[in-house]
Amino acid sequence: MDRRKFIRNSSLGSAGLLSGSSLLSCEGETTKAAVAAESGGPIAVCTWDFANATARAWEVLNQNGSVLDAVEQGVMVEEADPENQTVGYGGRPDRDGVVSLDACIMDSEGRCGSVMALEGIVHPVSVARKVMEDTPHVILAGAGAQQFALESGFKLKDLLTEKSKNQWLEWQKTSRYNPIINIENHDTIGMLARDKNGNLAGACTTSGMAYKMRGRVGDSPVIGAGLYIDNEVGGATATGVGEEVVRTVGSFLIVELMRQGMSPQKACEEGVARIIAKNNGKLDFQIGFLALNKKGETGAFCIHPGFSYRKYDTQGHRNIPSESYLKS
């Protein structure tokens, strides 16, 4: 059940590091939060329970690092961890056995960078940052992204660990190509942070859906889908089946809903509800959003197959009683 864990921080009243302390229920499952925050001050939140990542971001924020450094270095913890098979080194490969990574980053000025289907580089988020800072472009993909990374001083590394390779070999024996329902084999770290001055940044990085088609790119490196920051309003990031998030331009939607006055929590629920509505109420995939507003308030919401969505109508999902719904 680990991979169904998601976060929503409750109140962040006390000062200090709260990694792993807040609780939420995602379809009734109690989860650990990956939150680092100080009341009215800096905050770093990320999808799932990657508490080491928020702890690192928190360290950077408290050493007067920039909020951009904080999100980059935060997610790098997971990119480097071979035990995390959904991000970076050790990530599960595509169906041809190649680990192919997607990442993006966005700062408080609205600048952004992204790499798609990048192979052989442990830290795609840092390459995305280089794209943002050192080129006139926003996105580099595939072989070109790798060439740029090498020219920028990144080193090539075989990202396929024995563990991931063996699982892939096993999958080949038993599986047919149907990643849509494969909910346990994809996850992403999306991180949002705010510094003590209220400036926001975000980063998102993933090895994408396990055993995906070669060349498949999800939402995670797509600005507006997997991540969006608007320093006037807030930021959002997504995890789950990327195709669904791209179709809805999910993270941009969440930020725009916050701009219209919704709380981060409400906005995440509404974003999920839109996706359900677009699928006529059919739910055979996992989706989650995480949001942070300018004031430092957070919200998150996720669903997965088996989730009871009967409270949604197929039209406008306007009647969702979010609080009772969360508890049901």
Q: Which residue has the tokens 């997610």?
A: 75
Instruction: In angstroms, give the least distance from the CB of 209 to ligand ASP.
Output: 5
Q: Which of 146, 220, 251, 265 binds ligand ASP (CB under 6 A)?
A: 220
Concerning whether 135 is annotated as a catalytic residue, the answer is: no
Nearer to ligand ASP, 42 or 190 (CB): 190
Q: Is 208 in the site for ligand ASP (CB under 6 A)?
A: yes
Q: Tell me which of 31, 86, 188, 206 is the catalytic residue.
A: 188
Could you tell me which residues come within 8 angstroms of residue 37 by beta carbon, excluding any fewer than 6 positions away?
9, 12, 18, 43, 44, 45, 296
| Integer Cα distance of 33 and 136 in angstroms | 37
Partners of 240 in the β-ladder: 287
Nearer to ligand ASP, 38 or 252 (CB): 252
Instruction: In angstroms, give the least distance from the CB of 93 to ligand ASP.
Output: 13
- 199 in Cβ contact with 231 (< 8 Å): yes
Nearer to ligand ASP, 161 or 239 (CB): 239
Instruction: In angstroms, give the least distance from the CB of 74 to ligand ASP.
Output: 16
Tell which phi-psi region holds residue 46, choosing left (phi > 0), alpha (psi between -120 and 50) or beta.
Answer: beta
Which SS3 state, helix, strand or coil, does residue 292 take?
strand
| Integer Cα distance of 26 and 13 in angstroms | 22
229-268 residues in contact with ligand ASP (CB under 6 A) are 239-242
Nearer to ligand ASP, 61 or 121 (CB): 121
**Cα four-point dihedral sign 201, 138, 73, 179:** positive
Size of site (CB under 6 A) for ligand ASP? 13
Q: Which of 192, 209, 262, 283 binds ligand ASP (CB under 6 A)?
A: 209
Binding site for ligand ASP (CB under 6 A): 186-188, 206, 208-209, 218-220, 239-242
Positions annotated as catalytic residues are: 188
